């Protein structure tokens, strides 16, 4: 990158007062810049290299998502990245927080696009304009980051609860989205662990066995899984959110249902992917918290 391309540099470089030295090493660009009396070394990585890493890591092309959803790079920036961020949701507020933190590559679980066509008017226009004006690239990964066996929301939640994965369930377009895991402790112990993990609280509906040997996990919305878990040899489901009528189903079908929050159960995957990007490309990382209680 030359001095003349300074105007298209990411936000963290735009705000620096002057640039003294620019050099490249191992596909990275370094800026030694002065802001007031302090010197800062900025590492810049090619945007497309990060995109390729993400696409490969989450198998983006192999896993079909809901109609209208788009997994991958949703908004480009000027072509280089200096800081990685992660957010459960794409949106005007997460974008604004990310920009304030000098993030120029944001990994989101719930991206911008679901049911096309989307007119770029109103808040849709404001969101896209903010990203373009502030040089923020947005990458989204939905179902691929739910079912990933290592950095997926289900897998990480199982690990945090010390449950051992033993299978999958709930196929969508040929790929199982839910996770099955064996438990070595009681329902009471499970509640203690869920309480420690989800500080904002969770809802429990307990009409199943007190010592489940197998537990189904489906982060986010669990509506499609409730009536499927008995077929998998379990009466216990940990998920993000449920509907009111699932209380009646739990009574009638003798189930244990735990709703821990859609947002809370889907923080794990984007954080894991963003941290891997950070380590791979030696870039700083920060989570964008929006404190959603749903």
The DSSP secondary-structure symbol of 106 reads E
Amino acid 68: pLDDT = 80
Which of these, 272, 153, 203, 189, lies nearest to 287 by C-alpha position?
272
Per-range mean pLDDT, top range of 17-31, 106-120, 167-181: 167-181
- Is the predicted pLDDT of residue 102 greater than 60, yes or no? yes
Q: What percent of the chain has pLDDT over 70?
A: 85
Q: How far are the Cα atoms of 226, 227, 253 from residue 248, in angstroms, in the given order?
A: 11, 12, 8
Token pair in block for residue 269: 């995957």
Closest CA to 143 of 86, 198, 223, 62: 62
- By three-state DSSP, how is residue 66 classified? coil
The contacts of residue 279 (CB under 8 Å, 6+ apart) are none
Which three-class secondary structure string do you get for 146-193?
Answer: HHCCCCCHHHHHHHHCCCEEEEEEEEECCEEEEEEEECCCCHHHHHHH
φ, ψ at 40 (rounded to 5°): -130, 135
Read off the pLDDT band of 25 (50, 70, 90).
low
Integer Cα distance of 250 and 44 in angstroms: 52
136: pLDDT strictly greater than 70 = yes
Full set of structural domains in the chain with CATH: 146-263 (3.40.1390.30)
pLDDT of 116 > 80? The answer is: no
Predicted local distance difference test score (pLDDT) of residue 69: 86
Mean pLDDT along residues 173-201:
96
Please state, for a pLDDT cut of 90, what percent of the chain lies above it: 78
pLDDT one-digit tens code per residue, 41-73: 568 999 999 999 999 999 998 999 988 888 999
pLDDT averaged over the chain?
A: 88
C-alpha 107/C-alpha 58 separation (Å) is: 12
Rounded-to-10 torsion of CA 11, 13, 14, 18: 170
pLDDT at 21 over 90: no
Residue 262 in this model has a pLDDT that exceeds 50 = yes
Using CA atoms, how far apart are residues 103 and 288, in angstroms rounded to an integer? 9
What's the pTM? Answer: 0.83
Q: Calculate ∠ Cα 149-156-238, nearest 5°.
A: 105
pLDDT value at position 15? 36
């Amino acid at each position: 990158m030359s001095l003349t391309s300074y105007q298209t540099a990411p936000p963290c470089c735009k705000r620096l007062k002057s640039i003294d030295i620019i050099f490249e090493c191992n596909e990275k660009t370094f800026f030694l810049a002065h802001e007031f009396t302090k010197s800062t070394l900025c590492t810049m990585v090619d945007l497309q290299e990060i995109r390729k890493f993400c696409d490969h890591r989450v198998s983006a092309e192999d896993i079909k998502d809901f109609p209208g959803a788009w997994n991958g790079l949703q908004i480009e920036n000027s072509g280089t990245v200096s800081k990685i961020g992660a957010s459960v949701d794409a949106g005007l507020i997460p974008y604004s927080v990310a920009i304030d933190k000098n993030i120029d590559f944001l990994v989101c679980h719930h991206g911008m696009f679901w049911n096309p066509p989307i007119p770029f008017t109103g808040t849709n226009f404001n969101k896209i304009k903010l990203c373009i004006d502030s040089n923020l690239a947005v990458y989204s990964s939905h179902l691929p980051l739910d079912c990933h066996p290592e950095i997926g929301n289900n897998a990480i939640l199982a690990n945090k609860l010390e449950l051992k994965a033993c299978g999958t369930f709930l196929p969508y377009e040929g790929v199982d989205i839910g996770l099955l895991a064996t438990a070595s402790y009681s329902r009471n112990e499970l509640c203690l662990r869920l309480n420690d993990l989800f500080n904002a609280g969770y809802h429990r509906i307990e009409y199943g066995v007190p010592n489940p040997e197998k537990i189904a996990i489906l982060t986010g919305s669990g509506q499609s899984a409730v009536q499927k878990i008995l077929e998998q040899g379990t009466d216990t489901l940990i998920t993000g959110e449920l509907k009111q009528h699932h209380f009646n189903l739990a009574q009638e079908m003798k189930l244990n249902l735990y709703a821990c929050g859609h947002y809370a159960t889907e923080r794990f995957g984007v954080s894991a992917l963003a941290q891997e990007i950070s380590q791979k490309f030696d870039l700083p990382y920060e989570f964008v918290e929006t404190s959603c209680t749903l």
